[in-house]
Homo-oligomer: A and B are copies of this chain.
């Protein structure tokens, strides 16, 4: 009985790490005024056919269910979000600032930073067309990574603008319905052989040198990006961003701003990516709902690689990455005839909020102290012949004192 390839078991120490990531994500998104939502793991395959397009469709875990429905495990969140918002947009005041952090599923070749089931934080702003929303979203992605202890030497946000490319292409006579094809050439520019790019650009009667010159100096069309940069500078975030028009992103639904976040070492895949999708809700709702929107996704796999490779001296990270302590207090029963009193004390400690453990069956006192060490308890409370006095022992220092059991809670709290 094996785990499927590309999937993960989360033993307690793995789960503590994932919970650390989720807790930082929720904390920072909350500080930005984002509220959490979620959707189902399974959706109609049609939802993704209608929207995702591109390579995602070939990576679906899709099947026919017992009711003959074509269904798929969600490969991304945006179609679900668009479906939900289109259904109830009148119930919410704009702009919506929504986030979620569930599991996604893609049948991909396994490689560093890629799994078949992964967690991804999704943050979206809906109902706000201004560049102020673009800057707010990018500030959020920066603060999310800063909260893990990373600085400008560790990562960079590469900003681009599909509208800038649309302006460039339009000025050179590219037809509107060929725009996505032109963007696909730009998308491959850094990876494809130069001759291939030249040949494909020739179809649009555009020289590779003109494209390169525009990437080097996009100022004629990139005024919007300058506004976003000024906003981020006001927040003290200028060091985290750079304009890079080679970023286009694969999905068909993006309009305007697109961006990707990379570690500075260049060893990892993108940490996060997103952009504007101002027309998606209109498509999803058959024209009924028109709402500008933008968002990004940040997966847990590449992020965890970066956390593991960049040491950061943060108490919070240390506390979370340490194997989580199972209990704070361990009740040691030294005289079996006091079992009833021991159980009552365990209950009182738990009722008072202390994570408390004890030996579930008869065991020697030395063995019980070993168990206290195993669960990482800070204190042992020994119930023995001194009852109703108990010994309170601090396990690290081995200091102990005798006190009335009625004084125990106060002693533990101080």
Asked if A236 is an interface residue, CB under 8 A from chain B, the answer is: yes
* A37: contacting residue among B12, B86, B236, B375, CB under 8 A: B12
Asked if A128 is an interface residue, CB under 8 A from chain B, the answer is: yes
Interchain nearest-CB distance for A374 vs B (Å): 5
When C-beta atoms are compared, the residue in chain B nearest to A46 turns out to be: B1
Asked if A39 is an interface residue, CB under 8 A from chain B, the answer is: yes
* A347: contacting residue among B98, B139, B353, CB under 8 A: B139
- A22-62 vs B, CB cutoff 8 Å, 1 = contact: the mask equals 00000000111111111111111011001000000000010
Asked if A267 is an interface residue, CB under 8 A from chain B, the answer is: no
Q: Are A40 and B327 touching (Cβ within 8 A)? A: no
Q: Are A15 and B33 touching (Cβ within 8 A)? A: no
Q: Are A117 and B40 touching (Cβ within 8 A)? A: yes
Segment with Cβ contacts to B, from A151-159, A246-254, A307-315, A354-362? A354-362
How far is A258 from B152 in the complex, measured between Cα atoms in Å? 57
Q: Are A128 and B361 touching (Cβ within 8 A)? A: yes
Interface size on A, residues (CB 8 A): 96
Q: Are A31 and B105 touching (Cβ within 8 A)? A: no
Given the known A-B contacts A1-B284, A347-B139, A350-B143, are A105 and B33 also in contact in the complex, defined by CB atoms under 8 Å?
no
Asked if A133 is an interface residue, CB under 8 A from chain B, the answer is: yes
Which residues of the partner chain B approach A98 to less than 8 Å between Cβ atoms? Answer: 12
When C-beta atoms are compared, the residue in chain B nearest to A62 turns out to be: B63
Interchain nearest-CB distance for A133 vs B (Å): 5
* A1: contacting residue among B50, B128, B339, B341, CB under 8 A: B50
Which residues of the partner chain B approach A136 to less than 8 Å between Cβ atoms? Answer: 360
Which chain A residues in 189-243 approach chain B with CB under 8 Å? Answer: 231, 234-237
Asked if A396 is an interface residue, CB under 8 A from chain B, the answer is: no
Q: Are B103 and A41 touching (Cβ within 8 A)? A: yes
How far is A86 from B139 in the complex, measured between Cα atoms in Å? 45
Q: Are B40 and A361 touching (Cβ within 8 A)? A: no
Q: Are B40 and A8 touching (Cβ within 8 A)? A: yes
Q: Are B1 and A117 touching (Cβ within 8 A)? A: no
Q: Are A40 and B357 touching (Cβ within 8 A)? A: no
Asked if A19 is an interface residue, CB under 8 A from chain B, the answer is: yes
Asked if A411 is an interface residue, CB under 8 A from chain B, the answer is: no
Given the known A-B contacts A9-B40, A235-B344, are A83 and B1 also in contact in the complex, defined by CB atoms under 8 Å?
yes
Interchain nearest-CB distance for A150 vs B (Å): 15
Given the known A-B contacts A10-B38, A15-B36, A33-B355, are A360 and B234 also in contact in the complex, defined by CB atoms under 8 Å?
no
Beyond the given A4-B40, A42-B105, A63-B63, could you list 19 further A-B residue pairs with CB under 8 A, ordered by the A residue number?
Answer: A1-B44, A1-B47, A3-B40, A4-B42, A9-B39, A10-B37, A15-B37, A31-B354, A33-B327, A33-B356, A34-B326, A41-B41, A41-B117, A42-B73, A63-B64, A97-B357, A130-B361, A130-B362, A235-B343
Report A's interface with B, CB cutoff 8 A.
1-5, 7-12, 14-16, 18-19, 30-44, 46-47, 50, 61, 63-67, 69, 71, 73, 80, 83-84, 86, 88, 91, 93, 95, 97-98, 100, 103, 105, 107, 117, 125, 128-130, 132-133, 136, 139, 143, 231, 234-237, 284, 324, 326-327, 339-341, 343-344, 346-347, 350, 353-357, 359-362, 371, 374-375
Listed by A's residue number, 30 A-B pairs whose Cβ atoms lie within 8 Å are A1-B44, A2-B44, A4-B40, A4-B42, A4-B69, A4-B71, A7-B41, A9-B80, A10-B37, A11-B88, A12-B37, A15-B36, A15-B38, A15-B100, A31-B350, A31-B354, A33-B356, A42-B105, A66-B107, A93-B374, A128-B360, A128-B361, A130-B361, A132-B361, A133-B360, A139-B347, A234-B339, A234-B347, A235-B346, A236-B344
